[in-house]
Amino acid sequence: MNIEIRDLMLRANEIRRLAIDMIYNAQSGHPGGSLSSADILSALYFKVLRVDPKNPLWEERDRFVLSKGHASAAYYAALALRGFFPLEDLKTFRKIGSMLQGHPTIHVPGVDMTTGSLGQGFSNSLGMALSAKIDKKDYLVYVLLGDGECNEGIVWEAALSAAHNNLDNIIAILDRNMYQLDGATEKILSLEPLQDKFRAFGWNVFNVDGHNIEEILNAIDMAKRRNGKPNMIIARTIKGKGVSFMENTHEFHGKAPNKEQYERAIKELDEIEHKIKGADPNE
């Protein structure tokens, strides 16, 4: 682990802590899928994305679409930490009148697409990639989707269309945490063999440990080589990652922690921070 990776891990942990804070404070939100995607968001916002927080609508910027819009707490935390708006604003999460509603909208600086209706953001990202090609722009379109989200028919229609249009400027990341709203994905509507499905639809497929930032970055580098096919990075993750009693369950998909659970969660995340800081960066 080098110093850069350690910094990205600390950022991910900070995203997790802020997301838990926000959801607890609002007594509403989605902890499970926010925690599973924190390392991916850290890699994107602190290393990969070509964006300018001072000029969120910069035309040449890379686009990012959070297609699993319910993970907004982690998304807003990443945007605030990256400097798109003050950290103080996170306290208004899900409050009446706040720009930081339960699902992201384009009124939030740094948010490129309003999402929340599952499958739609993935399809929107295709339009962005297609328009980049038409306008001869070289920005890339990143999109993060959930595995339960792949129950939506629109995902597969978009997958067909992206390959048909040779949209190699799309880098999709699938948060494969194995749980959706009310149970395990394979029990509700099985997706496996998922990588074969995307390959058969004409995509490059990369498999990574979605909590290993180095692996995420390497896969993104490979996806950037652009061979005429759209790119799908299947990131194996743990729903609720970082908070023991939220891990590998759908129980905290859309449920806020109570006071005792909140305190326990923050304590565990503090311990993780301590551990990352104590690790030898040259190992």
Ligand X SMILES: Cc1ncc(C[n+]2csc(CCOP(=O)(O)OP(=O)(O)O)c2C)c(N)n1
Interacting residues toward ligand X by CB under 6 A? 30, 32-33, 36, 68, 70-71, 116-118, 146-149, 175, 177, 179-181, 239, 253
The residue (of 139 and 252) whose beta carbon lies closer to ligand X is 252
φ, ψ at 235 (rounded to 5°): -100, 110
Least separation in angstroms between residue 215's CB and ligand X is 19
User: What are the residues whose beta carbons fall under 8 Å from the beta carbon of 269, sequence distance 6 or more?
Assistant: 13, 16, 17, 20, 242, 243
Tokens of 112: 């490129």
- Pull the structure tokens for residue 9: 């891990």
Residue 176 beta carbon to ligand X: minimum distance, rounded to whole angstroms: 9
Measured from the CB atom, the residue of 72 and 231 that comes closer to ligand X is 72
How far apart are the two ends of the chain, measured CA to CA in Å?
Answer: 6
CB 112, CB 128: distance < 8 Å: yes
CA distance 256 to 8: 26
Return the number of the residue (70 or 82) whose C-beta is nearest ligand X. Answer: 70
Query: Are the C-beta atoms of 171 and 27 separated by less than 8 Å?
Result: no
CB distance 215 to 6 below 8 Å: no
> What are the tokens at 269?
């995340």
Closer CB to ligand X, residue 30 or residue 229?
30
Q: In the complex, what is the shortest distance from the CB of residue 178 to ligand X, in angstroms, rounded to a whole number? A: 8
DSSP per-residue string spanning 164-191: HTT-TTEEEEEEE-SB-SSSBHHHHS--
Question: Closest separation between CB of residue 161 and ligand X, Å?
Answer: 18
- To ligand X, the closest distance from the beta carbon of 244 in angstroms equals 18
Cβ-based nearer residue to ligand X, 112 or 152 = 152
User: Residue 48 or 144: which CB sits closer to ligand X?
Assistant: 144
Task: Find the shortest distance in angstroms from Cβ 257 to ligand X.
Answer: 16
